[in-house]
Amino acid sequence: MNTKLVSALFACAIGLACSSNAPNVNQDGSAGGATRPAGSSGSGGGASTGGTTGDSSIQTGGQGGGATSTLSSTRLSGGTTSPSSSSAGTGGQTTGGATSASSGPGGQSGTGGQTTLSGGSTVADAGVDRAASGGSGGSATTVADAGVDRAALGGSGGSATTDGGGSGGTAGIRDAAQSTVADADTPPATDGGGSGRTWQQIQSDFIDWRFGMFLHFGILTFTGSWAQPNLPINQFNPTNLDCNQWADAAVSAKMTFGVLTTRHHDGFALWPSKASTFNVGNISWRAGKGDVVQEYVTAFRAKGLKPGLYYSIWDSTQNNGNNGPLSASQMQYIKTQLTELLSNYGEIPFLVLDGWAWKMGHRNAPFAEIHDLIKSLQPDILITDHDGIQGPWDADLVMYEEPKGVFSPTGNTIAAGQDNKINGTGGNDWFWAPGIGGLMTASTIVDGHLKKLEASYTNFILNCPPNRDGQLDAAIVAILGQVGSSWTPNASRAPLPAQVPLNQHPYMPTGVTATSGTASSAIDGVNDVGVNTVWTSSTSFPQSLTLDLGSVKPDVGYFGYLPGYAGNGPTTNGSITSYKILVSSDNSVYTPATSGTWPGDGKYQAVLFGPVAARYVRLEADAVNGTGGAQATEVVVGARR
């Protein structure tokens, strides 16, 4: 369980004048699941739900002295979770507790022109007048009436309070001077990667891959146990490494891509990394000249297969998983290795990250910093994280981990992958070991997985671990050949439905406050199957969360909302059904950015607006599904560029 310090601040009461958006249609992402099978990696554990009444806040980057609550949980093979520790805060950082956020400089914010999309439904407010400017819907408008209350222009006034106990006072909600209102009918300028394709096209291409090979290969193939640090890496010695054999077996099964574990939780790297000596460049195998990653990508490309990579953010040898926020040197280590992988091996279309959301959370290892680096190096790459979330929160795709009891639901329309092990018994976790057995039959792979999953827009990624010679066992190769002889992709499957917008330019909040409940639960980024922290408000409405971005950002225009999770998946109870998004530069005067309704079905929602200049972004919940308070597992903000 993650310890969070809660401190009472001030309640926010705000009068609004917003144009409303039509309801959004979201993608199916619900799934139940059995308990984790013994021997699979990952964590069990319960969900921690925030529910404390009062305005609670979390502020990072503030003046030091506060207590710091580490947000990490330890996922153990077999399904246990060790409690996170709480340590005294260090100077320069305050997490939890009451915070005094300084007012940001006056910024520019605009209203209207919003486009709300959720699950593929695009709603533009063309034809709806902007309350502040009187401009016609569907056209770009400049608001020039600085300091004019919205109430004077048809909006409503209201009281606004400052963060951290500053003076409140009565303030009408108004538009800042010279704020540009974006055209509702114009999509973001950068809706795709470097190839010119939209993210919808990139996701559509991905789900047409259908079937791929997961390759867990590393020091655990030879010695050690799951996540064991400082292993004797000289024991890595695949004397007959043959990545061409892997590729041939994949082709025989009609696979179209692979995913190689470049570095697992133990930290051993399969390429000669300059970040440290804990890699193949510093062992006896091939006199330190070996590079498994290079041989893999070369072999797979030669056979027409797409080479995906896996990388664990958590590194037990570097000890970066249980000590609160990562240090600058620990972050640089990760960034050095990701830069090597994504700069030296050609185009990498798919990256599976692990040991992140469930181990340390997306705040302790800052999501935006890692995400932006990856996208700068490989603009078209699709990123996913083993986080147990059934929607594209902090990811481009959903990933279902079948050994943890989850299966892509029938009728799913979110671009997704699902991984599982070909062996039901033996092995060293996901890696090869003597005695590996209980292999899936060709029928189980085809009828129990491929046919079901391709109908649900989910690629099946089957782990086929190479042995100590560096080759696939003959029994595995034979089964893959049988799969290829008995299965053909369904060419008549309908195209991928329109997808929810992705947060391609994320901003990391430095703090958050709420009118009630534990606000920090909505931005801690800690998630796994069965392990989630959830903000839960009191039952009187409206209720709100206010995110502090630390400084005025010039182009805020994305808001993502992940409803409450319970057990192995989302819950509809507490899902926000009527909302407003407001923005401010000084935490005193708030401007409506967009408003509308969500279906309350527990699925990830995203709304586009502006872009506007803002430091503070507020989600106001006006109504929810069920009889309890509003719930949010995560809320995220990004730029619209």
Nearest alpha-carbon partner for 507 in 367, 373, 377, 396: 367
Q: Is the pLDDT of residue 241 over 80?
A: yes
Q: Is the overall model pTM greater than 0.85, yes or no?
A: no
Q: Is the pLDDT of residue 106 over 80?
A: no
Q: Is 154 helix (H, G, I), strand (E, B) or coil?
A: coil
Which amino acid type is present at position 231? L
Which amino acid type is present at position 338? L
Q: What is the pLDDT, as a whole number, of residue 192?
A: 75
Nearest alpha-carbon partner for 4 in 454, 502, 582, 517: 517
CATH topology assigned to domain 48-188+508-639:
Jelly Rolls (2.60.120)
Fold agreement (48-188+508-639, 199-486): no
**pLDDT per residue as tens digits for the range 311-328:** 999 999 999 987 789 999
pLDDT level of residue 408 (50, 70, 90 thresholds) = very high
Check if the beta carbon of residue 153 is closer than 8 Å to that of residue 132.
Answer: yes
Q: Residue 191 burial (CB < 10 Å; 0-12/13-18/19+)?
A: middle
Which amino acid type is present at position 84? S
Which amino acid type is present at position 561? Y
The CATH class that applies to domain 199-486 reads: alpha beta
Lowest-confidence segment of 70-74, 176-180, 342-346 by average pLDDT: 176-180
159 vs 362, higher pLDDT? 362
Q: What is the pLDDT, as a whole number, of residue 193?
A: 77
Which region, left, alpha or beta, applies to residue 532 given φ > 0 means left and ψ of -120 to 50 means alpha? beta
**pLDDT per residue as tens digits for the range 274-321:** 999 999 999 999 999 999 999 999 999 999 999 999 999 999 999 998
Q: What is the pLDDT, as a whole number, of residue 133?
A: 32
Mean pLDDT calculated for residue range 627-636? 97
514 vs 97, higher pLDDT? 514
Lowest-confidence segment of 182-196, 246-260, 411-425, 607-621 by average pLDDT: 182-196
Q: What is the pLDDT, as a whole number, of residue 608?
A: 98
Q: Is the pLDDT of residue 19 over 90?
A: no
**pLDDT per residue as tens digits for the range 145-157:** 333 333 332 333 3
Share of the chain above pLDDT 70, in %: 70
Q: What is the pLDDT, as a whole number, of residue 25?
A: 32
618 vs 10, higher pLDDT? 618
**pLDDT per residue as tens digits for the range 482-538:** 999 999 999 999 999 999 999 999 999 999 999 999 999 999 999 999 999 999 999
Q: What is the pLDDT, as a whole number, of residue 86?
A: 34
CA distance 324 to 363: 9
Nearest alpha-carbon partner for 624 in 558, 539, 553, 567: 539
Domain ranges of the chain: 48-188+508-639, 199-486
Q: What is the pLDDT, as a whole number, of residue 525?
A: 95
56 vs 380, higher pLDDT? 380
CA distance 173 to 592: 8
Q: Is the pLDDT of residue 38 over 50?
A: no
436 vs 85, higher pLDDT? 436
Q: What is the pLDDT, as a whole number, of residue 57?
A: 40
Check if the beta carbon of residue 320 is closer than 8 Å to that of residue 314.
Answer: yes
**pLDDT per residue as tens digits for the range 545-599:** 999 999 999 999 999 999 999 988 999 999 999 999 999 999 999 999 999 999 9
3-state secondary structure 554-588: EEEEEEEEECCEECCEECCCCCEEEEEEEEECCCC
Q: Is the dihedral of CA 376, 377, 380, 381 positive or negative?
A: negative
